[in-house]
Structure 1
Amino acid sequence: LGVGVVIRSLVGTSDKEGFIVWTNIPKGQLYHQTIEVARPVEVQIDARGSFEKPGVLATYGWIINQLDHSVVWQMTPQNTKLEQGQLGRTVSTFTLPKGVYSVYYSSYGDRQVPAGERTLWAKLTGDDDRAWFSEAERWYMALKTTRKEQAVDVRLIEYREETPHRSDIWNLQRQTGFKNERFNFEVKAPSRVHLLAMGDYVGQFTDFAKIAKLENGDVVWKMTYDNTKHAGGSLRNRVFEGEIWLQPGIYQVLFESDMTHHYTGWEDNPPLNPTAWGVCMRVVSGYEANIGELRPFDHPMIAGILRPGDDADLVQRFTLQQKTGVYIHTMGEYTDGEVFDKGWLENEAGAIVWEPKISEAREAGGNPKNRQEDDFITLDAGVYQLRFKSDGSHSYNKWNVNPPENKERWGVSIYALASDAVFSAEEPVGRGGLDEVIKDVLDGARDAIEDVRGSLRPTNGAFGENERVLVNLIRIGNQEAVSEPLELVESRNVLRIIALGENEAGRWRDYGWIEDAKGRKVWEMRMNETIPAGGDNRNRLFDGQVILKAGTYRVHYQSNGTHAFGDFSFGPPDSPAGWGIRIAEVQE
């Protein structure tokens, strides 16, 4: 966040002076303000809170240094004088060195502490109302410089999130509720890492971090009550900070949280360093070259049904000679809560070992219906069957909307985590495999075409400023056959094609195409790559990109005897003058 100067932080009404004045503080709040001190200043803090019982404060303030998160001042039972009821007040004077600090006041209390004095009503009814509850809005905290001329050396700034440290392997702090975050990494040689993990313990950990080996699922480290300590605030706040050794292997660090007591929803007093809620793993100096993010697609592929086409039904058998940790990945079409292109894994008897879960799918780039799922599992030695089925549209090389970012991963694949895994695999069998996809490609496309991004968006028929018109065959009437040459000199040419034509019951009446120098078609209008063009349903529009290699081409357009520019027998399209084909070079 950027820095913004604030003259004064004022909450409530009070005659107290200071650059921070919080008064009339209600129950169940966490106040926070970041300050920047330009040079050492002497400050006075006047604060009031409530005791839960003798020796235990329920509400209080504190200050931490943002550089190292050390506590530089805290309202404690020792520096707080009991006034009346449960109220206590502290007045402290000390020097703040140059730096950036976070000032806090919390009024949540701590339900984990056995109740001190209860209200009369609580005593009669047996509920948990505590005496200090009634003292809400009598709490305050005020900070000021002891010398007025030093006031200019303190300014209030917006909270600044820390820049990730260059040694951070994974930084997942400030965690909210109901999270299940994971990070996979590889250790190539024995290494030391530093861990800072903070979570919630109420009889057991509900917010916690752990590290497991992905090859076999063994947990090598996790937060326990014995290896953590109190993190300040409520007794439920626990923190682990220290170094651990990791042997060579593939690991996953995980942070899980429930819906209670988290960074944006405290139920009891937060830890003294609230922003550390979560986990941060940092490589110890000298071991940086040994640890890095896991890249599973660089590992040995055991089996893969990749780039399948429409109506595919494929199976690939493979054999593992030993217990093996694997990474499985599938990518396909998910729409309206249904999986239309599905990959899964079976054992030799046909029982499902792994299958995708819609709730765990994430976007794969391009159109939102492109989804992907992955998992790390351990398989016993034996024979398995990798399976993939697809429906009749939106498949590899036949995208009817934007394709995914890594379209070569469309399908399902499985990779060995260990480099010494022993396996063998048969070729995929069934219908709709890559061979059939390639056969379906136009004769010349395999040599000339790199990609087709069909019907990217609705269009107003206009090219953009970065698009130079190369071909303009429009206003095509009935019974015409026209063409223009297209010479491309760059090794990779991104072309935007806008083509309007007529398709009746699956057959093209008016349409455009591109041929290479040998007369082979390298691109043509296809129904599943076009969208409605307005007017009658037979009006179809291709507005997308085609990437062609260098070469000599010819662009063609032909029409039949009915329904064309100047004589639309049925409802005309939204842009009738664009009937035909136009091509522009996209200057990327």
Structure 2
Amino acid sequence: MKAKSKFGVYFALTVLQLCASSPLFADQSRLVLSGLSQGKLTCASFELSADAEIDIQAKGALGQYSEELTGYCWILDSKTRGEIWHFTSHQRSKDAGKKDNIQEYEGAIPLKKGIYEVYYYVPEYNFFNINIDGTNEVFDFLRDLFSRKSKTNWKESISELMIEIRSNANVFKIVSQGSAFKPSPPEPPLFQKVKLGDGYYKKSYFRLKEPTNLRIYMIGEYSQSGKRLIDGAWVVDAETGAHVWEPTRWNTELAGGARKNRMFYDDVHLPAGDYIINCITDDSHSFEGWNANPPSDPYFWGISIFPGQGYKSGQFIPLDAPIISHALLKIIRVGEDAAEEQSFKLSREARLRIYCFGEFDESGEEFADFGWIEDNATGEIVWQLDAENAQFGGGSSKNRVFDGVITLPKGSYTVHYISDDSHSYNDWTTSPPFDPENYGISIYGVGKDFDPAICELTPKSDFGDNTLVEMTRLGDDQRVFKNFTIQAPSKIHIYSIGEGDRDEMYDYGWIERKKDNQVVWEMTYRNTKPAGGASKNRLFDGEILLDKGEYTARFSTDGSHSYNNWNAPKPKNPTNWGILITKP
């Protein structure tokens, strides 16, 4: 034999040997997944050109103290994304005969013509399920916990795990495997954000030219303790901020694997308009790395949008740039110990969208960082971020957000935002909210016909034309007063926040008639109501009748619990600590 021919034979034999030893070796009728790694998915796909039966041989592993498989495999229908076969401990067909925790399966299932995907998942050693029953098992577990025996057994078990699929060579074909593996979606998606990793947040935008049905396929993570999805996506109306679709515990179903994996797969009808898709994940359990068993369709962790029933081509238009809104004012990227405000006037009634993030103190059941809007003419709060209107803001459970529309009449208003000494923009004590750049409060005009000219930003000192007295944001040990005149007998409106109990008032206001120093009104415990926060915070919000004449308004504070120096939970409207008197 010539030297070149010998080299060719040796080369061919070498290639065959390398292929035969490959972890993902498959011939025309045989697909094998083996040589598996901890904490990783091993995947492949195959196609049947006609209806056929497939033979399955698989080995799975039980956790040492569990009856559930921790190393296991399954098969998915690419068209429906539904699981058609799943290896469980109950499917064991015979004893492996080598190790107690190795389970074997041999069987056959009929399949329709189509493309199928095969998955094998082996968790990290410290992730496998532990379920101890009985005193002896407790001692066995404790013994193994401080030895290397359990971990060594687990590694040895992994080397035996595998799945082999065989079928008629005339109809069976490998589609993709190993690093080249790609799942086959049922049809090209209109929009897709999948294989999401930890700590992900992104806004995407689209427009619907006509009312239509969209098929939404979302897989994410549900927090049983928080009663909400912490990995997922939702769709909001770009104009109003209204949630037009969002996954919940009740409209989703189990997605396979760990019980916290949830999925939504259904048509959603949306009217014509502009929309925002929010995608979010927390800091664990994602395609980047699972801390529990992954879902049956792990490559679709995230959201995919497909044409729904009756969809006409061209109705869905992706938008690259953010949708332009009528931004009126923003107090954002708020840091620690902030007390920011901005006043504005509306020349006529307006619908406004409020987008406000804050921090909820779960132990004290009140907000530590929050925003609100008050009427400058009366001092009354017309909107405030609170426990009833806020939703989960992503990241830490204490992050909250309000994204909705309110209607305000013509008038003068002030937007406030305050924060405490921790967990604020760029200095988070725990995971930040899903949109940290907008931490604070933003206000937008609503409607395509909204005229921004009806909203005028005004100086912070503008409390409206009807203001007679404004002595607020008072600190400790203050004794302040201000004179005012009533031209004719008339009513005045008093908005005053102070401190007191049933025995006496500590921070309070009163009004004296100037000519004889007679007290004509005084803030007492009995004529006030709770102001929010600590029970000692008291509010007077009402009208009194004064005769023509000159008057003096006074306010006194003691040596503790005052604006920006609280020794107990602050009131709902802390910046109005003091007294505000206006003409109704």
TM-score (ref. length: structure 1) = 0.47
TM-score (ref. length: structure 2) = 0.47
